[in-house]
């Protein structure tokens, strides 16, 4: 990741990035480690400035490239959690993806690639048309009727453009349903408990009700922090020398290299 930073025209403008208290520990550690690589005695083009550049958590939000990277990384964590906690294989499994937006796009792409029988439902007709066109999967607009039919095996909740998943939205049947809250880290919550906990099966929480529902634990937001810490650190270093748009371009060049 340091190849781009070896450019003399960029290295001469870099400042020492110092993580503020709002930055998570994994990112802060990665920033320090990356800066140490750039400033060690054998570095081909050491940074030309020693003044500090304060890195607060707010500098990351304007980055489209970083946002997309983290969205895809989170989608991967969600599907890994699903695979780890269940014995369901995606090929031939009927999966309902609830919601639209960039996370739904990332999940839809991954599920389609592995051969899952995907359907997408949301309250966003425009977003649904876009997903249908990209992935060739059945889509439909959520109304007041049931959301989860008796034939669905897995439901993935994204927290974007859909109503809460409640018991009345799930068709009663003896066929078990696996649910996972894929809502990305943040203030939005996409999963509403649809029954009382009656027990656990391996790592799954079993809920009461007319249909057996087993809830896969949501990935820890800290896991995403660990995955994206190095990319965030690189963006922070780039921002010490570049405006947000230029830093985004440089970050994209590194990721594509």
Q: What count of Cα atoms within 13 Å lies in the side-chain half-sphere of residue 160? A: 19
Dihedrals phi, psi of 141, to nearest 5 degrees: -85, 130
Instruction: Provide mean pLDDT across the span 2-27.
Output: 81
- pLDDT tens digits, one per residue of 172-221: 898 889 999 899 887 666 666 677 778 777 778 888 888 889 999 888 88
27, 13, 14: which is closest to 56 by C-alpha?
Answer: 27
Contact 213, 175 (CB under 8 A): no
% of the chain exceeding 90 in pLDDT? 48
Band (132; pLDDT cuts 50, 70, 90): very high
CA dihedral 122, 124, 127, 128 (to 10 degrees): 50
- pLDDT tens digits, one per residue of 208-250: 888 889 999 888 888 998 999 999 999 999 999 999 999 999 9
Domain edges within the chain: 4-59+223-256, 73-219
In whole angstroms, give the CA distance from residue 238 to residue 257.
Answer: 16
Band (96; pLDDT cuts 50, 70, 90): very high
147, 152, 148, 154: which is closest to 216 by C-alpha?
Answer: 154
Dihedrals phi, psi of 201, to nearest 5 degrees: -125, 110
- pLDDT tens digits, one per residue of 103-129: 999 999 988 877 778 999 999 999 999
Q: Which helix (H) or strand (E) holds 48?
A: none
Neighbours of 232 (CB within 10 A): 27
Q: State both tokens at 70.
A: 């983290």
Q: In sequence order, what are the beta bridge partners of 181?
A: 157
Measured N-to-C along each axis, helices 25-39 and 221-239 cross at an angle, to the nearest 10 degrees, of: 40
Q: In sequence order, what are the beta bridge partners of 141?
A: 122
In whole angstroms, give the CA distance from residue 215 to residue 154.
Answer: 10
Query: Could you name the CATH architecture of 73-219?
Result: 3-Layer(aba) Sandwich (3.40)
> Would you state the pLDDT for residue 208?
82
């Amino acid at each position: 990741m340091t190849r781009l930073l070896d450019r003399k025209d960029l290295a001469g403008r870099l400042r020492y990035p110092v993580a503020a208290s709002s930055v998570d520990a994994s990112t802060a550690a990665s920033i320090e480690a990356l800066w140490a690589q750039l400033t060690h005695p054998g570095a081909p083009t050491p940074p030309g400035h020693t003044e500090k550049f304060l890195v607060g958590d707010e500098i990351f939000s304007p980055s489209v490239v970083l946002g997309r990277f983290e969205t895809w990384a989170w989608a991967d964590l969600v599907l890994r959690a699903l695979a780890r906690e269940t014995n369901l294989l995606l090929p031939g499994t009927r999966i309902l993806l609830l919601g639209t937006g960039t996370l739904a796009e990332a999940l839809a792409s991954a599920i389609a690639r592995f051969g899952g029988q995907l359907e997408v439902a949301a309250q966003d007709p425009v977003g649904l048309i876009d997903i249908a066109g990209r992935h060739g999967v059945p889509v439909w607009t959520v109304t007041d009727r049931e959301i989860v039919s008796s034939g669905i095996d897995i439901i993935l909740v994204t927290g974007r453009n859909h109503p809460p998943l409640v018991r009345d939205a799930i068709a009663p049947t003896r066929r078990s349903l696996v649910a996972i809250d894929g809502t990305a880290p943040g203030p939005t919550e996409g999963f509403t408990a649809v029954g009382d906990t009656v027990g656990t099966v391996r790592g799954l929480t079993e809920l009461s009700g007319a249909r057996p529902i087993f809830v896969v634990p949501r990935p820890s937001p800290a896991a995403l922090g660990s995955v994206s810490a190095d990319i965030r650190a690189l963006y922070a270093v780039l921002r010490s020398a570049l405006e947000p748009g230029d830093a985004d371009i440089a970050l994209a060049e590194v990721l594509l290299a």
